[in-house]
A and B are shown apart, each in its own frame.
Chain A
Amino acid sequence: MSEDEQKSEFAVEPNEAESINGVDHITSRADLTPYFVNSDHSVNKIHVSKVPQICRTEPCQLGVDEAGRGPVLGPMVYGISYAPLSEKQLLVDLGCADSKTLTEDQRDAIFDKICENDDKMGWAVEVISPNVIANSMYRRSKVTLNEVSMNSAIGLIRRAIEAGVNLAEVYVDTVGKPEKYQAKLKEIFPELKITVAKKADSTYPIVSAASICAKVSRDHALRAWQFREGENENEYGSGYPNDPVTKKWLTQNIDQVFGFPQLVRFSWSTAEKILESSALPVDWEEVNDEESPPNNQKISKFFSKVDTHNKVNRKKHTFFADRCLTNATSL
C-alpha cells in the first residue's frame, strides 16, 4: 500500500472528559444530533445525565436495555435509566411501555419527558461503534456480541453507582440465557437485587425507559453519521439487513480494497458475503497454528535412495529463516 502524501498527525486516544465543540451534554432531544455529529464514530461514546438529588438519597431502581443489536449499519446502543422506587407511577405516567409497540414519534415524545423530569430520574447511554463491534468479533481471541453487550451493561451500572445513584434494584433485558447472566451480575454487584428476564422491556417500565433512551439515541446517532471516507451518502435506510434501501446502499458503496465505510459492521455475515463476491480477496494469517496435525513420516523414508547429486539443498540458518531473509539473485 503506498501513497504520496505528507505525513499527517494522528488522533490521540480520546479523553472521555474532553468536551467536543458544541454540545457536550444532552439535556433535551435537540442536543442529540449536534452531540453525535461531533463525536468520533470509530470509538465508543458514553453519555451520563446529571444525577438528581432525590436519586442520591432515596433507594432507586435501574433498568438496562439495548437498541440496534441486529442492524448491519451503525452503532449498537446500550441504555440505562433509573428513578426512586417511590416514583414508580411516574414511569407509567410518562408512557414507558414496551418500546416495540411505540412509534418513533411516541418514543421521541417520551424521551423529551424523561429529559424534562431530570429532577426525578436519570439515564445514560453507551454508543458502541460498529468499528468496535467488528474489531471485537475479529480479535485473535474473539469477543462475542453477547460479551460486548454484558460488558457495556456492567460498565453503565458501575457508572451510575460511581456517580452517586443510591441503587437498590436492577432490571435487565437479557442477552443469552437469563439465569447465567443474572448469576454473573449477582457476583459483580452482590449488594443489589438483580432481575434478568426475557422481554423485560415490556414487563418493567424502568427497562422500557432505558430502551427508549437507547433507541432514540441510536436513531439520532445513525442519522448524524459523518463519513470520513468522503462521500456523505445518507440514503442507507434503517440499517437492518432486510431493508431494501440498506441492501442497495451496501452494494453501491463497496471499495475494492477497503470494503466499506466504517458505518458498516464488517463482521456481519451480510457484509462479509457482499465483500466475498464483490471486493478484492484478503487473506489473514491463520490464528490456530497448533491445531495442524503432526508431521507424520514413514520410517521407510529414511532408507530410500536419496538423490544427493543434483541438489545441494542447504538449509538456511534459523537467523535468516526467522527473519524471512534470502539471497537475492533475482527479483
Chain B
Amino acid sequence: MAIHLNLKKEILTSEKESVLHLMPCDIHGDEPALVSSYFTPYIRRKDDEHLTTSFRGYPLQGKTITLPKGYTGLVLHESKNAESESLDRNLFATGKFTQFTYWNYDKLPSKNDAVVAALEWIDIAEALHSNDDDVAN
C-alpha cells in the first residue's frame, strides 16, 4: 500500500493560510463547521497571550501556537471510498498554516500540555541529529 501526498504548488506558495482551532474534545463527525458564525465571534482576548471562548457551553482557554521556524503545516484531505487495504491512498493538501489556536477545557494552556511540549522535540531532534559542525555554528 502506498500513500500519495498530492501537493499543489499554489497552496504552498500562496500567502493565504488556513485558520485552525485544535479543540480539547472529540467531535464525532467529519463535516464542514460554521466556525466563523458560531465560534470566532465569541473569542475574546484575556491578556497578551491568552484567549477565551465557549464550545457547547463549556469554557475554553486558548493560545496561538506558532510552528517552529522552517516548518509549514499542511491540511490534508482524504476522500474515503470503499477501498480495500491493498489500494493506494490519496491525500490532498487543501491548505497550509504556520500557526494554529490551541484550546484547553477550563485550563490555561501551558508548557505541560502535550501539544506544546511535543514541539520541543523539533529542537531536541535538531540538536541530536545535526553534525558537530552545524552545532558549533
Contact = CB atoms under 8 A, between A and B. Distances in A.
Interface stretch (A23-31, A113-121, A154-162, A279-287): A279-287
Nearest to B42: A42
Interface in A108-138: 131, 134-135, 137-138
A259 B105 CA distance: 17
Interface string B1-45: 001000000000000111111111111110101111111111111
Identify the interface centre among A257, A281, A331: most chain B CB within 10 Å of its CB: A257
B29 A1 contact: no
Contact of B118 (A230, A275, A282, A324): A324
B116 to A, nearest CB: 9
Interface stretch (A6-14, A185-193, A294-302): A6-14
A7 B38 contact: no
Interface in B21-71: 21-29, 31, 33-46, 51, 54-59
B28 A11 contact: no
Given A135-B59, A138-B58, A140-B107, A10 B27 contact: no
Contact of B43 (A11, A261, A282): A11
Interface string A319-331: 0101111000011
A259 B55 CA distance: 9
B24 to A, nearest CB: 7
A8 B46 CA distance: 15
A53 B46 CA distance: 38
A284 B25 contact: yes
B105 A255 contact: no
A234 interface: no
B127 interface: no
Nearest to B116: A323
B28 A282 contact: yes
A113 to B, nearest CB: 38
B105 to A, nearest CB: 6
Interface residues of A, number: 48
Contact of B25 (A7, A262, A275, A283): A283
A228 interface: yes
A135 B54 contact: yes
Contact of A284 (B18, B31, B33, B58): B58
B21 A281 contact: no
Identify the interface centre among B54, B56, B91, B121: most chain A CB within 10 Å of its CB: B56
A150 B46 CA distance: 25
Contacts of B89: 331
Contact of B29 (A135, A265, A280): A280
B106 interface: yes
Interface in A132-191: 134-135, 137-140
Nearest to B104: A285
Nearest to B64: A7
Given A135-B54, A258-B34, A258-B55, A140 B106 contact: yes
A10 B52 CA distance: 10
A2 interface: yes
A12 B43 CA distance: 9
B57 A228 contact: no
A105 B111 CA distance: 57
Contacts of B34: 229-230, 255, 257-258
Given A1-B23, A3-B18, A283-B28, A230 B37 contact: yes
Question: 9 smallest A-B Cβ distances: which pairs?
Answer: A266-B57, A134-B57, A258-B38, A280-B29, A323-B118, A228-B41, A135-B59, A257-B33, A283-B26
30 contacts: A2-B20, A2-B35, A2-B95, A3-B19, A3-B35, A5-B35, A5-B36, A7-B17, A11-B45, A12-B44, A42-B54, A131-B54, A134-B57, A137-B57, A228-B42, A229-B34, A230-B37, A257-B33, A258-B33, A258-B34, A258-B56, A259-B56, A266-B57, A283-B25, A284-B24, A323-B118, A323-B121, A325-B118, A325-B121, A331-B3
